[in-house]
Amino acid sequence: MQFDTMAILATHQPDPITGAVVQPIHLATTFARNAANELPGSYGYARVNNPTREALEKALTTLEGGATSLAFGSGQAATMALFQALRPGDHVLVGTDAYYGTPALLEEVFHPWGLTYTRVDMSNFDAVQASLHENTRVVWCETPSNPMLSITDLLTISRLAHEAGALVVCDNTWATPVLQRPLDLNCDIVMHSTTKYLSGHSDVLGGALIFKRDDEFTKRVRQIQGLSGAVPSPFDCWLVSRGLKTLGVRVRAQMATAQAVANFLDGHPAIQRVHYPGLTNHPDRALIHQQMNGPGAMLSVQVHGGADDAIRFIGQLKLITRATSLGGVESLIEHRASVEGPATKTPQNLVRLSVGLEHAEDLIADLAQALDRLH
């Protein structure tokens, strides 16, 4: 079954009582027991479970090809719950080019608690193998990476990790299941910031973990989800479910525009380098074709000069909004190093662009006039 059909079927659940074709939102925080003090269904208290959240989790399981899913209040909440399921003394391997919030969480919260971690170039398999220890429990991958759009060979990393007895987690936020299914590439867990492409309209905060197996580790993370209460509201779950219906259409349209924008920027005299998996000069071109169905709608651009030049460039834009986040219908751009702060490893002349649903010609015209002002 094609993705678009699967996305509709996974989120189209007519109400059995009223026949409503749009899934209802169950806002209840508690559920009544009968005279025998028994719950009529599987719901007792919304922190532990809720029908609207359960519907979203089932849809995510279907779209990523997993066994079960857990929804959270943000992508960081999902990441935190997974790390909380580990034990003090355990070791995590994370890419050098991961979303800055992931190593920040490890350093600021979990390292003092007793979790150890190592950052490694995931394209250097010798370095990855050398960094796998007896106590390594999780190898955290992100592909394409944020913000350099480097590509991780998930099949090879999964093989190395599994030989060492570690689980492989892939942050699939940028690719989405439209373009990449990490569980089919031998990963064990997929993480999403559902705030981004899955909801797709910059109006909801959420996260999710999708598991290949419903095993003891999965049960541990589910327990943490219920005990900690880092869960999304029913309305947020409903919004993400609604976004899933159009995910395939949006991603393909945004990707086509991103390709046109990247082609325009690549070779422009004011641009030092364009990072985009759809360019023929991308160093991981063969791997991209092997494990992805397309290059996506995110790109990063390094202008000639430094931070001041990059900020001056985006300051001249009229159509593209200067804002953090990505995956919405509107195009967003940001100076990434400013957002990440003093400890950033991102080049100072880099800006990150999330391509929306505006017409390609209009976006290119806006970028062109801004770049012309740099000369």
Q: Is-catalytic flag, 171? A: yes
- Integer Cα distance of 192 and 115 in angstroms: 22
- Integer Cα distance of 149 and 298 in angstroms: 8
Output the DSSP codes for 244-288: HHTHHHHHHHHHHHHHHHHHHHTT-TTEEEEE-TTSTT-TTHHHH
- Kindly compute the dihedral angle of the four CA atoms of residues 359, 360, 366, 369, in this order, to the nearest 10 degrees: -140
Catalytic residue among 90, 97, 171, 188: 171
User: Which residue from 103, 219, 213 is spatially nearest to 167, judged by alpha carbons?
Assistant: 213
Chain-centre distance for alpha carbon 65: 16
Q: Is-catalytic flag, 196? A: yes
Length of the chain: 375
Catalytic residue among 4, 43, 47, 309: 47
Please enumerate in sequence order all residues whose Cβ is within 8 A of that of 192, keeping only pairs 6 or more positions apart, or say none.
60, 75, 78, 171, 172, 173, 176, 198, 207, 208, 210
- Integer Cα distance of 166 and 158 in angstroms: 9
Extract the tokens encoding 26. Answer: 């169950």
Q: Kindly report the number of other CB atoms within 10 A of residue 120's CB atom.
A: 18
Catalytic residue among 53, 90, 97, 99: 99
Reply yes or no: is the peptide bond before residue 103 cis, omega within 30 of 0.
Answer: no
- Integer Cα distance of 200 and 254 in angstroms: 11
Extract the tokens encoding 182. Answer: 């990490």
- Integer Cα distance of 144 and 152 in angstroms: 7
- Integer Cα distance of 281 and 304 in angstroms: 19
Extract the tokens encoding 257. Answer: 């525009």
| 8-state DSSP, 30 | B
Catalytic residue among 53, 119, 181, 196: 196
Residues serving a catalytic function are 47, 99, 171, 196
